[in-house]
Chains A and B, each alone.
Chain A
Amino acid sequence: MKGRIFDKARLSEFIDDLIKKRKIYAPINKDGLTCFSEIKSSSEIYFDFQSKLSSKEILFPRCETLFTYKRVDGDVKLEEIKVKDEESVLFGVPPCEARGFILIDKAFSSGEFQDVYYLRRRENTIIIGKSCQYPRNTCFCTSVGGSPFGREGVDLLLHDLGEKYLLELVSKKGEKLIDYIQKYENATETDIKMVQRIEKVAKESMKTRLELKNIEEKLDNMFEDPLWKIIYQKCVGCGVCTYLCPTCYCFDVVNEQITPSEGKRIRIWDSCQFPLFTLQGSGENPRPTGKERMRQRMMHKFNYYPKNYDDIACVGCGRCIRECPVNLDIREVLKKIMAQ
């Protein structure tokens, strides 16, 4: 482990130095809503146990314009909205969400076509994670291959050592920020030992431990299982689980007309929990009830995605559990699946 150590008070200096040169996104508290947003000063940063909205929307915005169109004398002019080539830093990302980006990367970059909007933003952004010292009781990252101190997807990782911060250098991309951290002292053996100790405690404090080995194979035979008919009953289909999920990436492409002659094509987040998601022009709907839609969500995360990309599409952040209006707990669903 390589890293630098500094007094907590100096974090603001580090951030404000970065702001002078780059766009910085960090967790903030906007009238009680904790989320990630661009900041202009380090004083805006707000560390919660976990922000209500994940950092996903910084790289994959809820709504973004793909291009604009304008009709001129019977002709149409299109203007592609390019993601600006500016170096950014996404600061304070918990390791579970950082892993989420790796999962979205696979969906947006594999195959014949590349999602240029997401990928350009991803390439231009350095991710500074913040290790998760106090996992919440809804967290279960260790059950799905993650860790509260996971390094996957982060370029640098900030550890809270009480009086001081240790900023760990993780990836080659993270070295781009070396100029900003050189003035701080190198972390000593004792500091590193302390991180390891905290990491051990954090991992041990994780209350949920699910045994999900072979879940993909298990689900192979469960498409017609009566389970789906039971578990969807109390779901109201609000879709909040998918909107808050750091790994859900489904979207809709729609038009917005501004004047009769001009407008834009935008993409917005969408959710597999909505009936319109799959309703066809003919009136057919392959997923007509909550049963099929809930099955789709579970299957996508634990069977379809793993088949296509060799990883479970859930990072165990627990947002879907905390924010579900009817207390539908994905952990309980997983346990039922594993018990089959």
Chain B
Amino acid sequence: MLNPYIPNLTVIKKITQENDLNDIKTFKLAFNNPSKFRDFKYRCGQFAELSLFGVGECPIGIASSPSDNFLEFTVKKVGMVTTALHNCEEGEIIGVRGPYGNGWPSERLESHDIFILGGGFAFTTLRSLIKYILHEENRAKFSKLCVIYGARDPGELLYKYDLRTWATRDDIQVIPTIDRASNGWVGRVGFPNQIIKEVASDTENSLAIICGPPIMIRFTIPILVKLGFPPKNILTSLEMRMKCGIGTCGRCNIGNKFVCKDGPVFSYKELQNMPKEH
């Protein structure tokens, strides 16, 4: 029997500061044992438990794409484990176990136009998905891709290096936006849930993927419904306190569904049939 609680050992290869506040960093990891990395087959939208020895574990969405030959996590400094991780330097060893969860439904994505709405820090697994779709081996399988990504101010946008690259391509429409006008910002100002009204098309046959703070999701879903996206085509990824990551420890359930095992990706249609406890 395989023991799911033993993490793989990885070394931190690169740390990237993502925002001006410097409380969000991207950690690029390399497995000590490369064959274990080959076994670590993940899909966009899945997560893993990061393990800081002596401190603890925390569940973090995978920010790299399965098309990458490395593993990346973007982590906000919030609690004990994430603070310890932020204090790490390149070359240090941390543990990773996973991948866990269902991830974005790739087959359904391939057959629809895709509108992605991201808000703030919750952009990490969306970035994984975008990178995956844009990969040369995959792009032809997908149709239209439109990304609206909002942050409080320009300095808080993650993956600025990716945003710049994506802006040069004609097979993706990227609209970065900030909440309030700011000096030197020439892009859009406003919430993604307003901008989607301008760009959405053929909504009945499109998918909307939305990740952000709970308040953004609460306000955006009714707008998407009104625009004509069918509830089963509105997808989001939920957050919940987790420990085991494998549906056993009993805390991340919403009704009889476990966010770690049955989620974290749920459609609005599924959420409608679940108790309001998230």
7 residue pairs, one from A and one from B, having the closest CB atoms: A250-B250, A281-B78, A304-B256, A113-B246, A307-B256, A113-B4, A257-B54
Residues from chain B with a CB closer than 8 A to the CB of A71 are 53
CA distance A282 to B78 in the complex (A): 7
- Residue A308 interfacial (CB < 8 Å): yes
- Contact at B3–A280, with CB atoms within 8 Å? no
B1 contact from A116, A254, A300, Cβ within 8 A:
A116
Indicate which residue in B56, B240, B249, B261 contacts A111 across the interface (CB closer than 8 Å): B261
Q: C-beta contact mask, A18-51 vs B, less than 8 Å → 1, else 0?
A: 0000000000000000000000000000000000
Query: Can you name 15 A-B residue pairings with CB atoms under 8 Å?
Result: A74-B93, A113-B2, A116-B1, A119-B1, A223-B275, A253-B56, A255-B54, A255-B55, A255-B56, A257-B54, A278-B241, A280-B239, A280-B240, A286-B278, A304-B253
Chain A, interface SS category: mixed
Given contacts A76-B95, A223-B277, A280-B241, 5 further A-B contacts (CB under 8 A): A75-B93, A78-B6, A113-B4, A116-B1, A305-B256
Q: Is the CB of B214 within 8 A of A284?
A: yes
Q: Would B247 and A253 count as touching, CB distance under 8 A?
A: no
Q: Which residues of B contact A115 (CB under 8 A)?
A: 4, 248
Partner of A270, one of B51, B247, B249, B275: B249
**Whole-angstrom distance between the alpha carbons of A239 and B248 in the complex?**
19
Do B9 and A252 touch across chains, with their CB atoms under 8 A apart? no
- Chain B 10-37 near chain A by CB (<8 Å), digits 1 or 0: 0000000000000000000000000000
Q: Are A80 and B3 in contact (CB under 8 A)?
A: yes
Q: Which residues of B contact A292 (CB under 8 A)?
A: 277
Distance in Å from the Cβ of B272 to the closest Cβ of chain A?
A: 13
Residue contact A67 to B239, C-beta cutoff 8 Å: no
Count of chain A to chain B residue pairs whose CB atoms are closer than 8 Å in the complex = 122
Alpha-carbon distance between A292 and B7 when the two chains are bound, in angstroms: 33
Contact assessment for B53 and A278 in the assembled complex, using a CB-CB cutoff below 8 Å? no
Given A67-B6, A308-B256, are A111 and B241 neighbors across the interface (CB < 8 Å)? no
Shortest distance from the beta carbon of A100 to any chain B beta carbon, whole Å: 15
Interface string of A187-203 (1 = CB under 8 A from B): 00000000000000000
Chain B residues near A272 (CB-CB < 8 A)? 250-251
Q: Which interface residue of A67, A267, A281 has the most chain B CB atoms within 10 A?
A: A281
Is there a chain B Cβ closer than 8 Å to A66's Cβ?
yes
Per the bound structure, the CA–CA distance linking A250 and B258 in Å amounts to 13
Q: Is A112 at the interface (CB under 8 A from chain B)?
A: yes
Closest to A120 in B: B1
A180 in the interface, Cβ–Cβ < 8 Å?
Answer: no
0/1 interface trace, chain A 259-282, chain B, CB 8 Å (1 if under): 010010101001010000111111
Does B72 make an interface contact (CB < 8 A)?
no
B101 to chain A, nearest CB (A): 11
Does B222 reach chain A (CB closer than 8 Å)? no
Q: How far is the CA of A237 from the CA of B278 in the complex (A)?
A: 21
Q: In the complex, which residues of chain B have a beta carbon less than 8 angstroms from the beta carbon of A232?
A: none
- Whether B79 is near chain A, meaning CB under 8 Å from some CB there, is yes
A255 in contact with B53 (CB, 8 Å): yes
The closest CB in chain B to the CB of A287 belongs to B277
Is B5 in contact with chain A by the CB < 8 A criterion? yes
B57 interface residue per 8 A CB criterion: yes
In the bound complex, how far is the Cα of B275 from the Cα of A308, in angstroms? 16
A residues less than 8 Å from B4 (CB atoms) = 113-116
Is A88 an interface residue, CB under 8 A from the partner?
A: no
Q: Which residues of B contact A184 (CB under 8 A)?
A: none
**Which A residues lie within 8 Å of B253 (CB)?**
300, 304
| A-side interface residues, number (CB < 8 Å) | 53
Residues of B within 8 A of A280 (CB): 239-241
User: Which residues of B approach A to under 8 Å, CB–CB?
Assistant: 1-7, 9, 51, 53-58, 78-79, 82, 91, 93, 95, 214, 239-241, 243-244, 246-256, 261, 275-278
Residues of B within 8 A of A284 (CB): 214, 239
Q: Which residue of B lies closest to A253 (CB)?
A: B243
By DSSP majority rule, is chain B's interface helix, strand, loop, or mixed? loop
Instruction: State whether the Cβ of A108 lies closer than 8 Å to any Cβ in chain B.
Output: yes
> In the bound complex, what is the Cα–Cα distance between A255 and B243 (angstroms)?
12
Within 8 Å CB of A66, what residues of B?
Answer: 5-6
Which partner residue on chain B sits nearest A250 by CB separation? B250
Shortest distance between the CB of B278 and any CB in chain A (Å): 6
Contact partner of B251 among A75, A116, A277, A308, CB < 8 A? A277
Of all chain B residues, the one with the shortest Cβ separation from A252 is B243
Nearest-neighbour CB distance to chain A for B18, whole angstroms, equals: 17
A265–B275 CA distance with the chains assembled, in angstroms: 33
Contacts of A212-232 to chain B: CB distance below 8 A: 223-224
Closest A-chain residue to B78, C-beta based? A281
Cα–Cα, bound, A111→B4 (Å): 12
Do the beta carbons of B246 and A263 come within 8 Å of each other? no
Closest B residue to A286 using CB positions? B277
Q: Mark A75-117, 1 if CB is under 8 A from B, else 0.
A: 1101010000000000000000000000000011001111111
CA distance in complex: A265, B7 (Å): 11
How far, in whole Å, are A112 and B51 apart by their CA atoms in the complex? 21
CB distance from B174 to the nearest CB of A (A): 26
A267 to B246, CA, bound (A): 14
Chain A residue with Cβ nearest B214: A284
Known contacts A76-B9, A304-B253, A307-B256: does B91 contact A114 (CB below 8 Å)?
no
Complexed CA–CA distance, A298 and B181 (Å): 49
Given contacts A253-B243, A284-B214, contact A278 B251 (CB under 8 A): yes
In the bound assembly, the distance between CA atoms of A116 and B4 in angstroms comes to 8
Residues of B close to A69: CB separation below 8 A: 53-54
**CB contact under 8 A between A251 and B250, given known A114-B4, A116-B1:** yes
Contact of B255 with A304 in the complex, beta carbons under 8 Å: yes
Closest residue of chain A to B5 (Cβ to Cβ) is A66
